[in-house]
Each structure stands twice: as C-alpha cells, then as structure tokens.
Amino acid sequence: MPFDARNDLPETPALVLDESVVQANIDRLQAHCDARGVRLRPHIKTHKIPRFALAQVAAGAAGITCQKIGEAEVMADAGLDDILITYNIVGAEKCARLRRLSDRLRHLAVTVDSAATVDGLSAAFETAERPLVVLVECDTGAGRCGVQSPEEAAALAARIEAAPGLSYGGLMTFPAVGDLDGVARFMRRALELVAERGLSCREVSSGGTPDMWKSGEDDFVTEYRAGTYIFNDRSLVNRGTVPLEACAARVHATVVSAPTPTRLVVDAGSKVLTTDLFGQTGHGTVIGHPEADVVGLSEEHGVIHLPKDHGLAVGDRVEIVPNHICVVVNMFDEIFLRRTDGTLETVPVAARGKVT
C-alpha cells in the first residue's frame, strides 16, 4: 500500500527503511565479494523479508543463509531455492520438516557440530532421493557452537560422508570479531586433516558483518555470510565499520511526554527497540540530536535525556537508529519502505517470529 511520505507518515512507533540505502548496501558488499572472488550468501535473519532476499540474489548472491527452518520455509515459498541453515537441526520432528523442505529446493545445506546431530539427520534423509549437504561448524573462538579442534572437525566430516542420506559439504565458522588470524590457523589445519582423510571441502563458509570488508583476504574461504550489512545499525557505526548515512533503518517515534526540561519520553520502548545494548551505551542514536541520550527503556516508553532548550515538544517525531537492527526488525509485523520516489510502502516481515 503506497502512500504519500509527507502527508501520511505512519503511526508511531514504526520502522522506516530507505530503499536507496538498502540497495546501495547490497551492491557495495556484493561488489567487494565479487572483486575478492568469494561468494556472498547473505543471512536473512536481519530482514526476514523475501523481497530483500530476492534483491540480494538479483545482485549476485550465491543463495541465502537462514537460522531456523521456519525462516527457510518462508523464503522457499517466495522462490528462494538455495539455502544454507547454519544451525544444528535436532529432533525427529524438525529433521522430518527439514526433509520436506529439502524436497522443495534446488540446494539445501545445514551445519552440525556433533555425532548425535549427524545421526539424527541421517535417519531422516537415508531414504531421500538426494543427500542432504552437511557442513561441520568450527568454534574458532566465538565460544558458541562448533567443534573445538581441527581434529574433531575432520572426524565429524568423515562421519557425515559415511552417513546414509548425507553428503559432506565443507566447513563453516562464525568467527569471533577481530581475530581473523586465529580463525585462519584453525581452519587451515582442519582443511589439511580433512584432506588427509580423502575428503574435499566444497565450501568453507565464514561470516559476520563487522569484518565484512576483510572477507576474501583468506584464500581458503569460498563463501561469506553477512546479515546486518543490508541495513546496518548503531553498533556498526560505533565500531567504525560504516558511516551513519549507511544505516537504512530508523525507528520513528513520537514525543509523548516532556516531564522536565531535560527529559523526554517517546513511544518506542523495549517492545520496539529491544534492550539489546550490543556493546553500546544507551539505546540508540537520535538523528539530528547528537546530544540526546536514550538512557532507559520500559516496555512502551523510551526515556531520553537532553540538555535544556533542545527544541523538542510533545507531539514531535524523532528518528532513532537502533543498536542492533536484526532484533528490532523482528519486533514488527510490518515495516515501511521509503522508495526512491519518496512514497512509503508497507511490507510485511514475513519470517518474523519463526522461532522453530
């Protein structure tokens, strides 16, 4: 539903995205990856919206990354046919869902870090016409999932290749930000050990938006996963990864209270901005008011401290760049896209809330 941007601004709180900034962000990282010879496989957890996934593929992405089967199902419905789910899919019910999804897609891959997960996937896929592609997740320092050593990685690769219904697809890591040397040491050794077992890695998948401009520096990485880059956020500005102008998404809010000369309250609280500090101080950057400090959020109120004579009054609108855009998009049933002609279009967040 298009409507005039100036006369029909959406009721607040609302998430408004600038389409030209979105497209520039897509094009910039794609050009970088093309120049470095690494495939880009964007993570849709950030936007959860099929049209953006399609735009990423149209720009040259090799496929997409999802974290949940439910997200992948939404994207498959929209015609995306090459999906990597970077998650341990555990349990008979989920594995059966994964197989149904696989039957609809040109290419589906998942990651694992344990024998138990491999065995569960194999049980679901042993009668499948096409094997499921399975990559080994390596914990190269992030301290989340992943095998703990190159030796474990090679052993798990062999177990995958031997498992009925599965095909070993390579290695994957979600690197700790800033430690690319440590990541490279782990992954190079794992590649050696996998090769010693006579297996080849079709993909070596790395990722993360903060280090995206370094993607392709390591010649062993074949594909790069980034999510946040499509919109960017305050955390990336504060890290120095992107300028504020590259932030495509702003939460529009209305000043609903000005209780003191230095305190404003807006109608965007933790049920919109979330409490995700993501390493920041404060809950967002208020555009045009660098002196403003979003000091606190309750569920439906955002409290902003400002020096006196800030010029804002009850009824005024403010625009806030959030700390962590991936979790903020997930709070909205729909977002508003400001198109290049200035009109706003309502776009459903189709994969929002797909928690399973």
Residues that bind its own copies (CB under 8 A): 11-14, 45, 67-68, 87-88, 90-91, 93-94, 113-114, 116-117, 120, 139, 143-148, 254-260, 263, 265, 267, 270-272, 274-277, 296, 298-301, 303, 313-315, 326-327, 330-333, 353, 355-356
Is the CB of 14 or the CB of 347 nearer to its own copies? Answer: 14
Is the CB of 1 or the CB of 31 nearer to its own copies? Answer: 1
Distance between CA 172 and CA 120 in Å, rounded?
19
Contact 230/18 with Cβ under 8 angstroms?
no
Name all contacts of 59-64 with Cβ < 8 Å and 24+ positions apart.
59/26, 59/27, 59/30, 60/30, 60/33, 60/34, 61/30, 62/223, 63/107
In the numeric block, which tokens belong to residue 129?
A: 């016409």
Contact 128/99 with Cβ under 8 angstroms?
yes
Report the nearest approach of its own copies to the CB of residue 265 (Å).
5
Report the nearest approach of its own copies to the CB of residue 91 (Å).
6
Report the nearest approach of its own copies to the CB of residue 197 (Å).
21
Is the CB of 13 or the CB of 165 nearer to its own copies? Answer: 13
Is the CB of 11 or the CB of 309 nearer to its own copies? Answer: 11
Distance between CA 147 and CA 113 in Å, rounded?
5
Report the nearest approach of its own copies to the CB of residue 129 (Å).
25
Report the nearest approach of its own copies to the CB of residue 87 (Å).
7
Distance between CA 231 and CA 14 in Å, rounded?
15
Report the nearest approach of its own copies to the CB of residue 297 (Å).
9
Is the CB of 63 or the CB of 146 nearer to its own copies? Answer: 146
Contact 165/121 with Cβ under 8 angstroms?
yes
Report the nearest approach of its own copies to the CB of residue 295 (Å).
9
What's the helix, strand, coil split of the chain in %, to 5? Answer: 30, 25, 45
Contact 109/84 with Cβ under 8 angstroms?
yes
Is the CB of 38 or the CB of 294 nearer to its own copies? Answer: 294
Report the nearest approach of its own copies to the CB of residue 195 (Å).
24
Contact 75/83 with Cβ under 8 angstroms?
yes
Tell me the backbone φ, ψ of residue 48, rounded to 5 degrees: 55, 25
Is the CB of 212 or the CB of 272 nearer to its own copies? Answer: 272
Angle at 211 between CA 74 and CA 202, to 5 degrees: 60
Is the CB of 119 or the CB of 245 nearer to its own copies? Answer: 119
Tell me the backbone φ, ψ of residue 107, rounded to 5 degrees: -150, 130
Is the CB of 38 or the CB of 64 nearer to its own copies? Answer: 64
Contact 191/172 with Cβ under 8 angstroms?
no
In the 8-state DSSP scheme, what is residue 230?
G
In the numeric block, which tokens belong to residue 128?
A: 């499948």
Report the nearest approach of its own copies to the CB of residue 10 (Å).
8
C-beta neighbour count of 96 within 10 angstroms: 13
